[in-house]
A = this chain, B = another copy of it.
Amino acid sequence: MTELDVAGLQRRLAEFAAARNWEQYHTPKNLVAALSVEASELVEIFQWLTPEESAAVMTDPGTAHRVRDEVADVLAYLLQLCEVLGIDALAALSAKIDRNEERFPAPKEE
């Protein structure tokens, strides 16, 4: 499976959009809107659940499929946004974790 890395998936998404002439719609402004809509579709699955019910959401196969599907949609728009803006998503996250480790020092173990 050579595709299962971020760069490969990002390339497949770019080719998918190009083959359908959808690039014209993929302004950064539109992609962040689409990203937030997909994030809300994830929220919709959980909105009326108790914390406990939310933790058990993968035990129902239909709901598990829906959660995986929305996770994929969020990641798809995030990677397409990074593609058009020239952002390396993994490097951005790594740098952010570094900053957070300085900003929120872990309590010392006793």
A86 within 8 A of B: yes
| Cβ of A22 to closest chain B Cβ, rounded Å | 9
Q: Chain A interface mostly helix, strand, loop or mixed?
A: helix
Provide the residues of chain B in CB contact with A29, threshold 8 Å: 46, 49, 51, 54
**Nearest opposing residue in chain B for A45, CB measure:** B32
**Nearest opposing residue in chain B for A76, CB measure:** B93
Select which of B1, B73, B86 is within 8 A of A96 by beta carbon. Answer: B73
Provide the residues of chain B in CB contact with A32, threshold 8 Å: 39, 42-43, 45-46
Select which of B4, B16, B35, B49 is within 8 A of A94 by beta carbon. Answer: B4
Interface size class of A (residues with CB under 8 A): 35 or more
**Nearest opposing residue in chain B for A106, CB measure:** B19
13 CB contacts below 8 A, A to B, read: A20-B106, A21-B107, A28-B57, A30-B48, A36-B42, A57-B85, A58-B85, A58-B87, A71-B78, A71-B82, A72-B96, A73-B96, A78-B78
